[in-house]
Amino acid sequence: MSIALVLLAAGKGTRMNSEMPKVLHKIAGAPMLAHAMRTGAVLAPERTVVVAGHGAEAVALVAADLDETSDVVLQEDQLGTAHAVDQARGALADFNGDVVVLYADTPFVRDETLQRMIDARQTHHLVILGFEAADPKRYGRLMMDGESLERIVEYKDATEAERAITFCNSGLVACDRAMLFDLIAAVGNDNASAEYYLTDIVEIARARGLSVTAVACDEAETLGVNSRADLAQAEAIFQQTARAQLLDLGVTLAAPETVFLSYDTVIGRDAEIEQNVVFGPGVTVESGARIRAFSHLEGCHVSGGAVVGPYARLRPGAELAENVHVGNFVEIKNAILGEGSKANHLTYIGDASVGKNTNIGAGTITCNYDGVFKHRTEIGDNVFIGSDTMLVAPVSVGDGAMTATGAVITRDVDPGALAIARAKQDNKPGRAKKLMDMLKARKARVRN
């Protein structure tokens, strides 16, 4: 069956106390909207419609970035969840199949749960996702009659007896497109909030003799983010789950609670991650690599046998081949390091390529930026870059070449050549004491 996703993302999120629309706040490096879209992606949707309101332009940019085929529709005034879904009516006018409504601020619905909703659609016209709430708070209550869902009553409109029900509405809905918009057309706003409640479609469907049911999920899946505290909690939950998944996959985490992952972090089996490592978005670490304590990685790829850190920083475009060593206080950006090469201490390598089995001495810097433009440094195989070499890009060092310690390399170095580029040393016998005495005398004069 064809599926269209409708993601509700218009709410103001007042309690976030933010200039930014709520659904663009990030969990594990990705906006909540992306998490919702990723969840929905298991249904291989043919169409995705994002209903935006507050900060719609920013939401539209992010939605297009995540899925260029998605539609973003504007809900100018937030008149309720039925009104929100109704904004997708035009965008889906030519779509035949099922609509699944998701909240963009509810990032943890499991793939398997969505699948169960779709399965339940085989036998029911309308399927709602419910959950058994430990503390039902202000959620809508699901009034079941056996398998049949008869009505959803919003907390504000519920009687004491209805409030005693603990089976609650998550907000997710699955229904045939034409039928859903027919039902929504019949929703009014005569209720405690004067809003168009999507939940009213249940009672309307039942009155029309349609069959409605609720599928149940874990309460944890329906965690919605309404405040920064919720966001922090959602982040913690994400991290816990992601760490557990890595452990299951055979990754060693020396102290799992101190390792922070992104939504897309990929780490291979038997990789070893030490304490206090942070993975920004876009990192792949292959099987058998070792990331040592206090390292920060983003947008990079680390091959098997490579050792990174402690205290290393890999920035976007860092590509480490097999058995590369990147040590303490080394920063790599937009640079490829070939197999077996080493940069072990206090180094910056940016906009560069380094061949195989090359040794980069302590304190080496690729001077890649002239204040306006970025320039590349090309270093060959089996090169020895002496400590404290400044490579003033654009510049290249050929295979098997060496640079002397303290060199400032401004011209290309041919393969096999030794480049010495530093001032000649001049030793003045006995001058140390003379200089010291002179300085001390000067200090004494300044004091008096």
Which residues are marked as active site?
345
Q: Does 51 bind ligand UD1 (CB under 6 A)?
A: yes
For residue 188, with 0-12 CB atoms within 10 Å meaning exposed, 13-18 middle and 19 or more buried, which class applies? exposed
Mind giving me the DSSP string for 2-25?
Answer: -EEEEEEE----GGG--SS-GGGS
Taking CB under 6 A as the binding criterion, the range among 7-15, 213-221, 245-253, 403-411 that sits at the site for ligand UD1 is: 7-15
Contact, 396 vs 379, CB < 8 A? yes
Smallest distance from the beta carbon of 37 to ligand UD1, in angstroms? 14
- Find the binder of ligand UD1 among 71, 86, 98, 105 (CB under 6 A): 105
Indicate the residue among 199 and 265 with the shorter CB distance to ligand UD1: 199
- Find the binder of ligand UD1 among 25, 35, 83, 177 (CB under 6 A): 83
- Find the binder of ligand UD1 among 48, 75, 262, 389 (CB under 6 A): 75
Smallest distance from the beta carbon of 79 to ligand UD1, in angstroms? 5
Indicate the residue among 201 and 379 with the shorter CB distance to ligand UD1: 201
Taking CB under 6 A as the binding criterion, the range among 72-80, 296-304, 357-365, 378-386 that sits at the site for ligand UD1 is: 72-80
Taking CB under 6 A as the binding criterion, the range among 73-81, 210-218, 240-248, 349-357 that sits at the site for ligand UD1 is: 73-81
Smallest distance from the beta carbon of 370 to ligand UD1, in angstroms? 47
Taking CB under 6 A as the binding criterion, the range among 9-17, 304-312, 320-328, 423-431 that sits at the site for ligand UD1 is: 9-17
Q: Indicate the residue type of 305.
A: G
Smallest distance from the beta carbon of 291 to ligand UD1, in angstroms? 37
Taking CB under 6 A as the binding criterion, the range among 71-79, 233-241, 264-272, 323-331 that sits at the site for ligand UD1 is: 71-79
Q: Does 11 bind ligand UD1 (CB under 6 A)?
A: yes
Q: Which of residues 147-176 bind ligand UD1 (CB under 6 A)?
A: 152, 154, 168-171
Number of residues that bind ligand UD1 (CB under 6 A): 28
Indicate the residue among 173 and 283 with the shorter CB distance to ligand UD1: 173
d(CA 404, CA 423): 12
Smallest distance from the beta carbon of 239 to ligand UD1, in angstroms? 23
Q: Does 35 bind ligand UD1 (CB under 6 A)?
A: no
Indicate the residue among 139 and 238 with the shorter CB distance to ligand UD1: 139
Contact, 20 vs 53, CB < 8 A? no
d(CA 256, CA 273): 9
d(CA 336, CA 358): 12
- For the chain, the C-alpha Rg in angstroms (whole number) is 30
Give the closest residue to 400 by CA, choosing from 357, 350, 353, 445.
Answer: 357
d(CA 132, CA 168): 6
Q: Does 108 bind ligand UD1 (CB under 6 A)?
A: no
Contact, 90 vs 28, CB < 8 A? no
Indicate the residue among 75 and 341 with the shorter CB distance to ligand UD1: 75
Q: Indicate the residue type of 103.
A: Y
Q: Which of residues 209-248 bind ligand UD1 (CB under 6 A)?
A: 224
Smallest distance from the beta carbon of 5 to ligand UD1, in angstroms? 14
Q: Does 20 bind ligand UD1 (CB under 6 A)?
A: no
CA distances from 141 to 83, 136, 195, 200 (A): 20, 8, 17, 12
Q: Does 81 bind ligand UD1 (CB under 6 A)?
A: yes
Smallest distance from the beta carbon of 134 to ligand UD1, in angstroms? 14
Q: Does 103 bind ligand UD1 (CB under 6 A)?
A: yes
Which two tokens mark 396? 């290249």
d(CA 42, CA 113): 10
Q: Which residues contact 421 (CB under 8 A, 6 or more apart)?
A: 403, 404, 407, 408, 409, 410
Q: Is 366 helix (H, G, I), strand (E, B) or coil?
A: strand
Could you tell me what percentage of the chain is helix, strand and coil, using 3-state DSSP and rounding each to the nearest 5?
A: 25, 30, 45
Smallest distance from the beta carbon of 201 to ligand UD1, in angstroms? 10
Ramachandran area for residue 2 (φ above 0: left; ψ -120 to 50: alpha; else beta): beta
Give the closest residue to 170 by CA, choosing from 241, 235, 106, 84.
Answer: 106
Q: Which of residues 184-203 bind ligand UD1 (CB under 6 A)?
A: 197-199
Contact, 326 vs 307, CB < 8 A? yes
Indicate the residue among 75 and 359 with the shorter CB distance to ligand UD1: 75
Which positions lie near ligand UD1, rule CB under 6 A? 8-11, 51, 53, 75, 78-81, 83-84, 103-105, 139-140, 152, 154, 168-171, 197-199, 224
